[in-house]
């Protein structure tokens, strides 16, 4: 789906100034980094994402989540892609990640035309960027030049990723440890406007009582929405079932997520927490009422996320295969 979002002149100027300030502190990254060495790189990634999305509308959510899990553990270095015992990818906390085949397809296409040139870390970041656009969200320009990490350890996963039952303070601490602000937390949580989640990520918020009747445990969740979720997750196959993060517009990247929070229909406890606390409620209400503001803030926060802990120069490598170190 093509994006209908248009940046006005002042928004463009604001975004360019913001990006310029970021690059000052990350001089090894640049826009159009591959212009001279592999000018088709971004085109190939975008086409791969669009093609995958056209056949599977759940792909955008998977690709955005993949970037989050990569960047929050060891930085944005594609270490989450490495296969093998004891790697990040093998950790149970990453068991539900998807989108790997999209990254591999893009990498394979690029390697044919530009061998040993484009990092998997850049492909992951570009694919997440393009996934948002494919779902109708804003077009975001991001710098490239990341290098791939040379190690991946499962032990690093749990201390760094955010669980769906975190308190707001725990989330703020996690984001702060990556150099991200409370505004980044609220804005990047907007990624839950697309994608789907397994029942075990939220079914602790309600239960059936001894008589088999619905019982709400988490009062911050809308009663009827919770009952709907319980009914969807009540089958014997609930461990493999998924539910859309956004019950209204699950395949469109819009600001509906924040309107859902206002009506107490955030799927996770971490979603509801944003509406329950004065430190974040005002931002939620602003983003719920102004989609253009959400898109602009998303563009800025997404760039910051994609630059967390990046590796450049000798700190990394260009993997020939994204699933294994050279």
User: What digits encode the pLDDT tens for the residues 221-253?
Assistant: 999 999 999 988 886 565 678 999 999 999 999
| Domain presence at residue 16 | no
Q: Are residues 72 and 99 in the same domain?
A: yes
Token pair 């955008």 in the structure block, residue: 60
Task: State yes or no: 111 annotated in a binding site.
Answer: no
Say if CB 123 and CB 319 are below 8 A apart.
no
Task: State yes or no: 58 annotated in a binding site.
Answer: no
In this prediction, residue 144 carries a pLDDT of 97
Residue 214 phi, psi (nearest 5): -65, 140
What band does 27 get if pLDDT is binned at 50, 70 and 90? low
Mean pLDDT of the region 258-272: 97
Q: Are residues 238 and 290 in the same domain?
A: yes
Say if CB 210 and CB 223 are below 8 A apart.
no
Residue 62 has pLDDT above 60, yes or no: yes
In this prediction, residue 25 carries a pLDDT of 42
Q: Which of 6-15, 151-160, 250-259 has the lowest mean pLDDT?
A: 6-15
In this prediction, residue 240 carries a pLDDT of 75
Task: State yes or no: 130 annotated in a binding site.
Answer: no
Q: Are residues 152 and 183 in the same domain?
A: no
Task: State yes or no: 73 annotated in a binding site.
Answer: yes
Q: Are residues 128 and 215 in the same domain?
A: no
Q: Are residues 109 and 210 in the same domain?
A: no
Q: Are residues 139 and 174 in the same domain?
A: no
HSE value, Cβ hemisphere, 13 Å, CA-based, for 101: 6
Query: What residue numbers bound the domain in which 257 lies?
Result: 168-305
Q: Which of 14, 69, 198, 264 is catalytic?
A: 69
Higher pLDDT, 67 or 26: 67
In this prediction, residue 15 carries a pLDDT of 56
What proportion of the chain, given as a percentage, has pLDDT over 90? 83
| Domain presence at residue 204 | yes
Residue 2 has pLDDT above 50, yes or no: no
Residue 1 has pLDDT above 90, yes or no: no
* CA distances (Å), origin 122, targets 21, 42, 136, 149: 20, 9, 22, 12
Residue 24 has pLDDT above 60, yes or no: no
DSSP state of 214: E
In this prediction, residue 108 carries a pLDDT of 98
| Domain presence at residue 59 | yes
Question: Among residues 135, 156, 177, which one ends one of the domains?
Answer: 156
Task: State yes or no: 192 annotated in a binding site.
Answer: yes
Q: Are residues 90 and 60 in the same domain?
A: yes
| Domain presence at residue 108 | yes
In this prediction, residue 21 carries a pLDDT of 47
Task: State yes or no: 222 annotated in a binding site.
Answer: no
What separation, in Å, do the N-terminal and C-terminal C-alpha atoms of the chain show?
37
Q: Are residues 209 and 176 in the same domain?
A: yes
| Domain presence at residue 78 | yes
> What mean pLDDT value characterizes the chain?
92
| Domain presence at residue 124 | yes
Which CATH number is 183's domain given? 1.10.420.10
| Domain presence at residue 282 | yes
User: What digits encode the pLDDT tens for the residues 75-116?
Assistant: 999 999 999 999 999 999 999 999 999 999 999 999 999 999
The domain tally of the chain equals 2
DSSP state of 268: S
What band does 214 get if pLDDT is binned at 50, 70 and 90? confident
Q: Does residue 69 have an active-site annotation? A: yes
Q: Are residues 189 and 215 in the same domain?
A: yes
In this prediction, residue 26 carries a pLDDT of 54
Rounded CA gap, 196 and 191, in Å?
Answer: 11
Q: Are residues 185 and 260 in the same domain?
A: yes
Task: State yes or no: 91 annotated in a binding site.
Answer: no
Taking the alpha carbons of 210, 211, 213, 219 in that order, is the dihedral positive or negative? negative
Which CATH number is 102's domain given? 1.10.520.10
Say if CB 232 and CB 199 are below 8 A apart.
yes
Spell out the residues 6+ positions from residue 21 whose beta carbon is closer than 8 angstroms to its own.
none
Task: State yes or no: 116 annotated in a binding site.
Answer: no
Question: Among residues 114, 130, 156, which one ends one of the domains?
Answer: 156
| Domain presence at residue 318 | no
In this prediction, residue 210 carries a pLDDT of 81
Q: Are residues 281 and 180 in the same domain?
A: yes
Q: Are residues 185 and 144 in the same domain?
A: no
Residue 6 has pLDDT above 60, yes or no: no
Task: State yes or no: 181 annotated in a binding site.
Answer: no
Question: Among residues 127, 156, 185, which one ends one of the domains?
Answer: 156
Residue 295 has pLDDT above 90, yes or no: yes
């Amino acid at each position: 789906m093509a994006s209908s979002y248009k940046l006005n002149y002042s928004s463009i100027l604001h975004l360019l100034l913001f990006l310029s300030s970021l690059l000052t502190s990350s001089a090894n990254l640049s826009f159009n980094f591959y212009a001279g060495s592999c000018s088709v790189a971004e085109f190939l990634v975008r086409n791969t994402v669009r093609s995958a999305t056209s056949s599977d509308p759940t792909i955008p959510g998977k690709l955005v989540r993949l970037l989050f899990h990569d960047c929050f553990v060891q930085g944005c270095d594609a270490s989450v892609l490495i296969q093998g015992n004891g790697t990040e990818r093998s950790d149970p906390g990453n068991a539900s990640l998807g989108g790997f085949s999209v990254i591999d397809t893009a990498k394979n296409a690029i390697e044919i035309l530009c061998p040993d040139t484009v990092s998997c870390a850049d492909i992951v970041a570009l694919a997440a960027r393009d996934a948002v656009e494919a779902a109708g969200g804003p077009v975001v320009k991001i710098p490239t030049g990341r290098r791939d990490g040379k190690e991946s350890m499962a032990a690093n996963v749990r201390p760094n990723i955010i669980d769906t039952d975190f308190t707001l303070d725990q989330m703020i601490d996690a984001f702060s440890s990556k150099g991200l602000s409370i505004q980044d937390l609220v804005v990047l949580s907007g990624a839950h406007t697309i994608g789907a989640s397994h029942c075990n990520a939220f079914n602790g918020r309600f239960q059936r009582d001894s008589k088999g009747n619905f019982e709400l445990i988490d009062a911050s969740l809308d009663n009827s929405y919770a009952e709907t979720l319980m009914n969807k997750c009540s089958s014997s196959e609930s461990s493999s079932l998924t539910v859309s993060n956004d019950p209204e517009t699950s395949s469109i990247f819009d600001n509906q997520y924040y309107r859902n929070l206002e009506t107490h229909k955030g799927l996770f406890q971490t979603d509801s927490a944003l509406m329950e606390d004065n430190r974040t409620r005002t931002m939620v209400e602003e983003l719920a009422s102004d989609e253009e503001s959400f898109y602009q803030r998303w563009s800025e926060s997404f760039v910051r996320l994609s630059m967390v802990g990046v590796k450049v120069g000798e700190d990394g490598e260009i993997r020939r295969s994204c699933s294994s170190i050279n």
